Amino acid sequence: MKPQPGLARSIIFACVALLLGGASLGPAAAASRPIRLVALGDSLTAGYNLPQSAAFPVVLEKALRAKGYNVEIANAGVSGDTATGGLERLDWSVPEGTDGVILELGANDMLRGLDPTIIRKALETIVERLEARNIPVMLAGMYAPRNLGADYVRRFDSIYPAIAKEHGLVLYPFFLDGVAGDRSLNLPDGLHPTAKGVEIIVERILPSVEAFLARIQQR
CATH number for region 33-217: 3.40.50.1110
The pLDDT of residue 91: 96
Residue 192: active-site member:
yes
The pLDDT of residue 32: 80
The pLDDT of residue 184: 98
CA separation for the pair 197, 178 (Å, rounded): 8
Residues of the chain with pLDDT under 50: 1-30
Residue 167: active-site member:
no
The pLDDT of residue 14: 39
The pLDDT of residue 11: 36
In our burial notation (b when 16+ CB lie closer than 10 A, e otherwise), range 70-107 reads: ebebbbbbbeebbbbbbbeebeebbeeebbbbbbbbbb
Single out the residue of 28, 91, 92, 100 nearest to residue 64, CA to CA: 100
The whole-model pTM stands at 0.85
Catalytic residue, chosen from 32, 151, 184, 189, is: 189
Catalytic residue, chosen from 42, 43, 99, 109, is: 43
Residue 189: active-site member:
yes
